[in-house]
A and B are shown apart, each in its own frame.
Chain A
Amino acid sequence: MRYKILTVDDSKTVRIIVRKAFKTYDCEILEASNGVEGLAIAAKDSPDLILLDVTMPVMDGVEMLTKLKADAQLKGIPVIMLTAEGGRDNVLKIAKIGVRDYLVKPFKEEALIEKAGRVIDLKPLSEQTTKAKSIFDSADILVVEDKPVIIQQIQDGLKHTPWKIHGVSTQGEALDFCAKTPPDLMLMSLSLPEEGAFTLFRLMRTNVKTKYTPIFALVVKTETLQQQQAQTVGFSALITKPIELSELEAKICKAMNLDTSQRYFTMEPGFLIMRLPENSSPPVLAEVGNYLKPKFSEAVDAGHTRMIIDIHELKNLHMGVIKLLFQTMQTCRELTLQFGLVGNAQIITECKGFEDTRNWTFYDSIDDAKANLGKSTPAAQMAAV
C-alpha cells in the first residue's frame, strides 16, 4: 500500500462510504470513531491524510484538530474536514486552526476523491507497480532549480543512494528531459521565474507519462504564502530550504513507495536481525514498527527461530525505543522465537537505570549473539524479562 488515509467519524456508514470511495485506488484506509482514537492512530501509523468529522462523542473533531496541530510530530499531516457542520462562520473558524480542505456532507464520492487527490498522489490500483521497489533500486530524480548550488547540495546529500539526480535550470529543459526519460520523481523550485514551477506542474499533470509522478516543491522555509499555494495546487510534498537531507530522503522513499525494511531488517541463515540506526527518531521508530509484523511473518515462514536485536549504534535510550523493544520482545515470545540484544556500553548502563529494563542482558557483538544465542545465560535471562 502506498498512502494511508485515516477516516475519523463516529458514523460507521461514513467510514464504509469512504472505504468504498477509495476502493479502486492504491491506498490503505485506517478508521477511528472519535478524536481520541484518531490521535492514537495518527501517532502510531503516521497517515498521509486525515478525513475528519466534527461532531463525535468522546473527543470531537475540533479538539482533535487542535491537538494534532499542537503536536510537533503530527502537525504536518494534512487534514480534510468531512462534516455536516457547515455554515460560513463554522467553516472559517475551523479553517483557521489549519485544514487543507473542507467538504460538507452530503458529499459525492467523486468530490472526496478529487479533494484527496489534490493532497496525495492517488493512483488507481491498475496503475500501481506489481512489486514495490526497494531502497537499493536505481531511480531517476529530476531537480528543476535555477540555482546550481542547490542541485549540487541535493546530489551530494543523496550520493549514498542508488538514485541518479539530474539537474536542469529551466522549464524548457525539464520538458525536454521528461520527453526522453520520464523521471521517477521531480523536485521543482518555486523560485523559478514567472511562476514557472506552477506552469510546469500543470503540464506534468496533463501528460500521461508524468500524470502520477510525485512532484515535490522546493521552497524557502519562510515563504508561507508560496507553500500554501503549492499545497492547494497539489504538489506531493514540500521541501523547505535550507534542505534537511534526511527528511528529503525519507519523503522520496515514501513518495516512491520504496521498501525501506532492509535498512532495519536482514535475514541471515537461521536468524532475523533487527538493527536500529543511530538516529532512531519517532518517524524511524514508526517505520520500523510498521515492518515488525510482516518481517516476523516472513522470518517464521522461512523457518527462522532466532532473532538478534542490534541497538549498538544508538547513542542513548528513550521511551520510544524502549516501547518498540518491548513490542518486539513480546512478538518474539508469542512466536516462540529466541532473541538476544546487542548493545554498547552507554546503552547497557542506561538500561540499568530503568526499572523495566534493568534485567536486560546483552551480547558483545552480533557474532557473539550468533554463536551463543540459545546456549548461554543471556538468552535464558531474556526469556524471563
Chain B
Amino acid sequence: MPAAAEITEPLIREYITRAIADVFKTMLGRVPNFVGATEHTTGDEMSPPGPGTTNGMTPFVVGTVGFLGDVNGLIYLYLDEPFARLCTCQLLGMTDKELEEAGDEVINDAIGELTNMTVGGFKNGLCDAGYPCKLTIPSILRGSNFSIEPISSASRYIYNFESSGHKVSADILLKAGD
C-alpha cells in the first residue's frame, strides 16, 4: 500500500501543528494559533492559502522544502510579507532599518531556514513513525495573487495559523507512493 495513503490527516495535522509551534516558539518566542484546515485531493487550484487573503493582493513570502524517501512530498510555508520581515528581524536581532539595508535576500534566507526547520520537524515525525525520508534544500517564492497547482495524484492539505494578526499557512502536498 502506498505510504502516503497510510498517513492519515489527523497525523499530518498533528505533525505540522507541532512543528510550527516548536519552530516559532523556539526561534521567535511566539506560538501561532491554528485557525482552520482544508483538504484537496484532485489538484485544485488554491490562491494563496490563508484566512482573509482573498483580495489576492496580499504580498507573500513563501518558503518551500521537500522530503524524499519512503514518503515524498513538499511543504509551502506562506507568510504575509510584513510578518516575514518581523520574523527575520526577531530571528537575526536586526532593526527594521538594518533589515532595509540588508535587503530582501536576508528575508528570503531567514524564511527559507524557518521553513527548513518546520518541514524538518514534520518529516522527523514521519521518520519516527516508520517512513524514513530526507529533506531537500529550501527555495523561496515571492509575490501576490498566485496559485499553486499540484499534480492530480497528490494529496493536498492546507493548515492556517494566525499570530498577532499575521497569517501563516502550511500547504502540504503528499505524492502517492509508487
Contact = CB atoms under 8 A, between A and B. Distances in A.
Interface of A: 10-14, 16-17, 20, 54-57, 83-90, 104-108
A57 B139 CA distance: 12
A105 B23 CA distance: 8
A56 B137 contact: yes
A88 B91 contact: no
Nearest to B124: A86
A107 B110 CA distance: 14
Given A12-B109, A20-B92, A84-B135, A105 B117 contact: yes
A106 B27 contact: yes
A87 to B, nearest CB: 3
Contacts of B128: 87-88
Nearest to B131: A87
B92 A88 contact: no
Contacts, number: 72
Interface in B137-154: 137-138
B48 interface: no
Given A89-B127, A104-B124, 10 more contacts: A11-B113, A12-B109, A14-B113, A20-B93, A55-B116, A83-B120, A85-B120, A85-B124, A86-B124, A105-B117
B112 interface: yes
Nearest to B112: A11
A10 B22 CA distance: 22
Interface of B: 22-23, 26-27, 91-93, 106, 109-110, 112-113, 116-117, 119-121, 123-124, 126-128, 132, 134-138
A17 B93 CA distance: 9
Q: Chain B interface secondary structure, helix, strand, loop or mixed?
A: helix
A90 B127 contact: yes
Contacts of B132: 87, 89-90
B116 A11 contact: yes
A110 to B, nearest CB: 11
A300 B85 CA distance: 46
A87 B120 CA distance: 9
Contacts of B136: 55
A55 B113 CA distance: 11
A184 to B, nearest CB: 36
Closest 5 CB pairs between A and B? A84-B120, A87-B127, A106-B26, A86-B124, A13-B113
Contacts of B117: 84, 105-106
Contacts of B124: 84-87, 90, 104
A86 B22 CA distance: 14
A46 B138 CA distance: 30
A17 B123 CA distance: 23
A102 to B, nearest CB: 12
Contact of A86 (B93, B112, B127, B137): B127
Contacts of B26: 106-108
11 contacts: A11-B112, A11-B116, A16-B92, A17-B91, A20-B92, A55-B136, A57-B137, A84-B116, A86-B121, A87-B124, A87-B127
